[in-house]
Amino acid sequence: MTLPLEAYPRIENLLWEAHCGQISLAKIPIPEQVPGGQNVTILYEFLPGVKITRNTCRTALIKWPFTNLSSTPHMSLISPSQRLVLASTSPFRKEILQKLAIPFDTASPEVDEHELDGESPEKLVRRLAQSKTRAVIADYPEALIIGSDQVACIDGEILGKPGDRQNAMRQLHKASGKTVTFYTGLCLLNARSQCTQVACELFKVHFRQLNEAQIRRYLEHEQPFNCAGSFKSEGMGITLFSKLEGDDPNTLIGLPLIRLVEMLGNEGMEIP
């Protein structure tokens, strides 16, 4: 059964009091005014990384129906009000998002990542980040969906992912002693409301002068053939640089976390 509206305030207060008392797991009997509620108890838990407010408690109560069972039902009531989905199978983006300590799912978006004629790097990554969220919306019609895309540019050329050793050698030779600008597109789509937030974050990498032997040793060690620019900044790629310029180091790896936290806040998900 679904709780009547008049039952919400009491349970909401109990949830809030439990949170203030730092109780991570507790039982709350359903108020007497709920028909048949004498045999039903809510077993709830606060999930890590979720900011608890009175509104969070209220949202949880409205979201979850309660079943009249003789045994105690277990319900994780305090969770993000919407499911969070990362539209990417990148292990690097997944690792970055895990820093926020909130539950999320991952999905594989099927998107053609080729640039359009005359398309600028910024427009390209913004379009692709948005396309990735749209590609999985049918499977997650109620979720907050995150999409991200990244390209590297040098001397006006979009580098992209090398794909093999030969292209990686060419990219690193071209980057030697120069500055490479990374454009990272970020999109947060509220599938429920269709509200879309899109941004592009820039990050500049200044490369050292690299010789043939250094480039070969690096590629042999790390094999970054699926990384834009042919390096992994979270690994040995850092040895190729003389200087980094940007607001968020996570942007260089592929997911602008500072901007994402801001977007999630706009959707009512306060972190921390």
Query: Quick one: which of 203, 189, 83 has its CA closest to 145?
Result: 189
Cβ 80 vs Cβ 50: under 8 Å:
yes
156 Cβ neighbours under 8 A, 6+ residues apart: none
For the annotated catalytic residues, the residue numbers are 149
Could you tell me the two tokens for 201?
Answer: 């974050």
How far, in Å, CA of 213 to CA of 270, rounded?
48
How far, in Å, CA of 43 to CA of 220, rounded?
54
Cβ 180 vs Cβ 241: under 8 Å:
no
CB atoms within 10 A of CB 3: 20
How far, in Å, CA of 140 to CA of 145, rounded?
8
How far, in Å, CA of 224 to CA of 230, rounded?
5
Bridge partners (DSSP) listed for residue 249:
none
